[in-house]
Amino acid sequence: MTQRGRATRPTGRPRDAAGPRGGDLAARRTRLRAVIEPVVNDAGYDLEDLSVSRAGRRHVVRVMVDTDGGIDLDAVADVSRAVSAALDAAEETGGDIVAGEYQLEVSSPGVDRPLTLPRHWRRNVGRLVKVTVRGAAALPGQRGEQPAGDRQLTGRVVAADDEGVHLETDDGCAAWAYAQLGPGRVQVEFTRLAELGEPDDEFDDADDSDDIDDSDDIDDEDDVEDEER
């Protein structure tokens, strides 16, 4: 989910001679983070990503926020307004943060966001994840000696803390330290109808009884019509 807003610097406002003067995008991103991150943290969220890019004659500032339990659209809108106000205040007192007109976009992470920090893994407990295990001599279920090297592992996250993550595969559950893992990728799972199980018997019985009652009502109406004739 994304909340978009546009901020345009008033053309008549004087620039602060001591303030930053544009520069490359990396320098702008550093200045933006110094303003935005405290605002996001004070609102109770984590700043997951911050990027600055050019779109024609203006810049686009993209802010990604998240928290345990996720963040809804109303909260994203609240953060967007708070960040916009903080940027305006910072430019009024400290000079240009972003040169010229810019568009602010605040969003929450999608499922394609790589899992790189302990909190990312913790927030995806229960999901299926593909990850590279660095320098693994063998993975769970493999027999015999294997040459050491990076190996792909797909498993379900059953637990995660500040030290590592427990992944369950078809061969069992194993614990991995974060230092052993590359970025994790959440896998989109499509549930097949065959995996849903048999229909509930009680529900079927209720449907059958309704059908019987309806047919009885129809028969009674037919009998009344025959008598009238």
pLDDT at residue 5 tops 60:
no
| 193-223 per-position pLDDT tens digit | 345 454 444 434 444 434 444 444 444 445 5
pLDDT higher at 170 or 192: 170
For residue 228, what pLDDT is reported? 47
Q: What is the pLDDT of residues 158-182, one digit of tens each?
A: 999 999 999 999 889 999 999 999 9
* Helix locations, 21-179, DSSP H: 25-42, 73-94, 118-122
What local confidence, expressed as pLDDT, does residue 163 receive? 94
Whole-number pLDDT of residue 18? 38
Mean pLDDT over 104-120 rounds to 93
Whole-number mean pLDDT of the chain? 76
Q: Give the alpha-carbon dihedral of 64, 69, 72, 78, to 10 degrees.
A: -60
Q: What local confidence, expressed as pLDDT, does residue 58 receive?
A: 87
Structural domain boundaries of the chain?
23-107, 114-186
Average of per-residue pLDDT across 152-156: 93
pLDDT at residue 51 greater than cutoff 50: yes
Task: Choose which CATH entry (2.30.30, 3.30.70, 3.40.50, 1.10.10) describes domain 114-186.
Answer: 2.30.30
Residue 16 confidence (pLDDT): 39
Question: Where does the pLDDT of residue 27 fall: very low under 50, low under 70, confident under 90, or very high at 90 and above?
Answer: confident
State the fold for domain 23-107. Answer: GMP Synthetase; Chain A, domain 3 (3.30.300)
DSSP states along 89-134: HHHHHH--SSSS-EEEEEE---TTS-B-SHHHHHTTTTSEEEEEEE
pLDDT (tens digit per residue) in 57-100 = 888 999 999 999 889 999 999 999 999 999 999 988 877 788 78
**Order of strands, edge to edge, in the sheet holding 58-66?**
2-7, 102-107, 58-66, 46-55
Cβ–Cβ < 8 Å for 20, 96: yes
177 with 191: CB under 8 angstroms? no
**What pLDDT does residue 139 have?**
56
Q: Residue 119 and residue 75: Cα distance in Å, rounded?
A: 19
pTM (predicted TM-score): 0.66
Q: What is the pLDDT of residue 204?
A: 43
Q: How confident is the model at residue 186 (pLDDT cuts 50, 70, 90)?
A: very high
Q: What is the pLDDT of residue 141?
A: 52
d(C-alpha 99, C-alpha 61), whole Å: 12
Closest CA to 160 of 149, 168, 170: 168
**The pLDDT of residue 143:** 52
